[in-house]
Structure 1
Amino acid sequence: MESAPGPDSAAHYETRYLDLMRRIWERGDERVDRTGIGTRSICGAELRFDLAGGAMPLLTTKRVYWKTATRELLWFLTGETNIRPLVLQGVKIWNEWPHARYVRETGDNIALETFVERIAGDEAFAERWGDLGPVYGKQWVDWPTYRYRRDGLYEKGPGINQVAAAVESLRADPAGRRHIVEGWNVAELGRMALPPCHKTYQFHVSGSGTEARLNCILYQRSCDVALGLPFNLWSAALFTRMMAQQTDMEAGELVWMGGDVHLYLNHAHLIAEQLAREPKGHPRLEIVRRPPTIFDYDIEDFVVHDYAPQPPIKAPVAV
């Protein structure tokens, strides 16, 4: 486990993120990607963060809207797949995908803002056009199963709540090697607005008793380092802290592993600006309440201390 970072920027936890960004931009393989925008990409990367003492990998070289990322994680844990609950909370990160589907399928080229207003104000419209398919949360808490019937047909069985199962397995068998939450359901990828990028979470317990520490390894198959990774790191660390609280452990280490790790070519201004900034400060997360289950947290349960980020840097999302 890493020791706590010192006051100099060279030892700052965020330096690892900035070094990864620089490496991709300077040495990445330039490619034409699915979105048509183009990326610079490397194959495989790893970042490690010590979560002891409330530490979080929250970037300081630009503002990361951690409450937005938290609301998304809590939405995942409901199993919901419609964007309307997010829209009603002012969370915009999933809006582009159903909007693009609406325009494509109807030919009605309405503005994104108009589409989102209709999602918020018209429940029937939201039910028809706001659903993303069986993305993240559906797989996390309601992985589909099927039963073979005597007449030779299959019928749907009870869904599997992987998150609840992971909590129970951590309590019952901390040394186990099967504490996994998986999002990559091959049979349902074609029905998803976007196949899961952060796809596999594996939990690992070090120490025992009062010294038990819960670690998490996140494997991410595809990673937009400029816009997506800051959110992914926060969410994975938060998920780890919530799981640790629910299993009576302290948070240990977050190990992030990326597959196709890339920067979009139209993010050049963001990259240049962010790499010119120095990371400062060590924000901490306090969870002010322990709810009955992992599924009962509210946004008010999380307080971040000592977070004084530099200004946000806007850039377009590739859809």
Structure 2
Amino acid sequence: MVTGERAYLQLCKDILANGSGRNDRTNTGTYSIFGYQMRFNLKEGFPLLTTKRVPFKLVASELLWFIKGDTNIRYLLENNNNIWNEWAFEKWIKSKDYTGPEMNNFGIRSQQDEAFNKQYQEQMTIFKEKILTDNIFAEKYGHLGDVYGKQWRNWKTSQNNSIDQLKNVIEQIKHNPNSRRHIVSAWNPEDIPNMALPPCHTMFQFYVADNTLSCQLYQRSGDVFLGVPFNIASYALLTHLIAHECGLEVGDFVHTLGDAHIYKNHIEQVQTQLERDIRSLPTLKINKEKQSIFDFELSDFEIVDYNPHPTIKAPIAV
């Protein structure tokens, strides 16, 4: 079985060779396959891809945002993380409060029209500054709805009670490690209409054996070039943090994908990545003085000996 970064690159090759051309929500178009699984042995190193640079601080700050149960992009912006901006920005430009130039279909147009891109960047700068400095504006336009953190930490029941799934699963791992119910779900059908983007990584399960903790993620939809490398690193980091709190070693991260797709405007970037050689994986260092997953901050993590190939930029489909 092909594992690790080779499994990811094989996924890219399989989509390019066998993927079905499909229309999609963003009108960008994809090549897609359905049903794919990759496995990463976390003992062999931290799975940040080396065939292109994956920005670990963005991965880590987003994960901490989920863990905090936060759904407002202000925390992300405070940590110079812009990966969710477009979804919040779209809410603002479609509102009656927006009085700037027309921004429809900004994701694609900003890549094709230099004059429009300048306007878009100006409006995005205004938007970000208002999120960071205006509490009322941030409350109105910074929230993304009941996305991941809300479901992980504050799932609402039909009796209007709250379930902290993440806290509960950690307690289960500590006290009933052999359980087959170590599951956290982000897919809450009732809340889907209230989300800026329905969860792509929909549920994950932990497994304890031989004093090691493994994690399997089911991802309904995977943007293979831009999103999946983040997802791999994020759930690897989550597994490390929970293993640390529970006094376990790390085992495998198993990544199961439903619709695994490459956007048609990412083909050239993927081909560039496939031409590159794989390098040694880095090591993750965690501040051992902290025990609870809920106490960690960005400064508590360090990636050592990461020497990837350069970043490959590509447009995001919104």
TM-score of the superposed pair, with normalisation by structure 2 = 0.90
1:83 aligns with 2:86: no
Q: Distance in 2 between matches of 1:275 and 1:109?
A: 41
Q: Deviations over 1:269-316 (max 9, x none)?
A: 211211111111121111122424221111111111110111101111
> RMSD over aligned Cα, in angstroms?
1.4
1:130 aligns with 2:148: no
- Bigger drift between 107-116 and 257-266 goes to 107-116
Name the residue aligned to 2:108: none
**Structure 1 residue 117, shift from structure 2 partner:** 1.8
Whether the 8 Å contact between 2:3 and 2:40 is mirrored in structure 1 is no
Name the residue aligned to 1:280: 279
For 1:151-162, list aligned pairs within 5 A.
156-157=160-161, 159-162=162-165
1:316 aligns with 2:307: no
Name the residue aligned to 1:41: 32
| 1:15–1:236 distance in 2 versus 1, CA, 3 Å | same
Match of 1:255, SS state, is strand
Whether the 8 Å contact between 2:73 and 2:143 is mirrored in structure 1 is yes
1:145 partner amino acid: T
Q: Deviations over 1:232-283 (max 9, x none)?
A: 0000000001110111100000000000000000112211211111111121
**Structure 1 residue 112, shift from structure 2 partner:** 1.9
Structure 1, gaps ≥5 residues long: 3-10, 148-155
Q: 1:171 aligns with which of 159, 171, 174?
A: 174
Q: Distance in 1 between matches of 2:289 and 2:229?
A: 26
1:41 partner amino acid: S
Q: Distance in 2 between matches of 1:301 and 1:199?
A: 27
**Structure 1 residue 12, shift from structure 2 partner:** 7.8
Aligned residues: 296
Q: Distance in 1 between matches of 2:291 and 2:281?
A: 30
Name the residue aligned to 2:183: 180
Q: Distance in 2 between matches of 1:13 and 1:170?
A: 25
Name the residue aligned to 1:19: 10
Identity of aligned pairs, percent? 44
- Bigger drift between 92-101 and 290-299 goes to 290-299
Structure 2, gaps ≥5 residues long: 102-122
Whether the 8 Å contact between 1:12 and 1:279 is mirrored in structure 2 is no
**Structure 1 residue 26, shift from structure 2 partner:** 2.0
Name the residue aligned to 1:216: 215
For 1:224-243, list aligned pairs within 5 A.
224-243=223-242
Name the residue aligned to 2:249: 250
**Structure 1 residue 205, shift from structure 2 partner:** 0.7
Q: 1:120 aligns with which of 121, 132, 137?
A: 132
Q: 1:71 aligns with which of 57, 61, 80?
A: 61
Q: Distance in 1 between matches of 2:3 and 2:214?
A: 20
Name the residue aligned to 1:139: 151
Q: Distance in 2 between matches of 1:118 and 1:315?
A: 26
Q: Distance in 2 between matches of 1:244 and 1:270?
A: 35
Q: Deviations over 1:126-150 (max 9, x none)?
A: 1111110010000001111243xxx
